[in-house]
Structure 1
Amino acid sequence: AYKSGYSIRQIAEEIIREKEAHKEIKGLEKIRMLDDYERVKEDLYIRIVSTNKKVTVLERGIYRKIGDIILGVYLRINEDDGKLCTTLIDNTYLDKWELSKEDVLEQAMDNTVKMAPPRFYDGRE
């Protein structure tokens, strides 16, 4: 940022703003609510799993595999200024919630479309 022309003061102010924003993250509260499906179901969504997280999701996560693509169920903990804080939902929650994998995946898919609607582009433009 300094090399891009920002002053030390501007950089410090931005750091302080970010620090204050992180204080407001109620992530631990959401994680503590995970036992109650009704309280967290609107924050479940689907993420395409990166290669380095693939093994963890396949062993512990709730997921759907389509060809080589793994779609994992995550909990949105916080979203601020385009920054998303998430955590993988462990498959042991299926028993706690008394729900099937398909029910949870369907809820997460519905939420994902609401959170990030698909965009269609005209390739000719």
Structure 2
Amino acid sequence: MAAAGTRQPTDVGQGGDIHRDDRRRSRLDRSRQLTTYKLVDGKFVLVGDLATDTGTSADGGRTWKFTLKGGIKFDDGTPVTAKDVKYGIERLYDPGKVLGPKYVPQWLSGGDYAKAY
């Protein structure tokens, strides 16, 4: 038991059998707010959970530059890297792994997102 006033991590899980060979597709989604808005000069600005800001794009959106926040880790303590973010985005374009809406690839690539398939 932690001393009063100290912060302790909280793990939330749900037991059950995995019915797929890709563990990333075997999940039960929980609603969680990963972004928020911060009031800056009287206007609300979107603030992300991994990057210091929304980044900048070049090449018509084909290149996106961002800076990861320091100290961000996976639940096992492994640091989150730009390589991990890249992998996650690439999965969005893999038709064998995409489940649910395709609004993120549409937002990233515009109307040409299907050409990535």
TM-score with structure 2 setting the length: 0.28
Greater per-residue strand proportion = 1
Higher relative CO (CA 8 A, sep ≥ 6), structure 1 or 2? 1
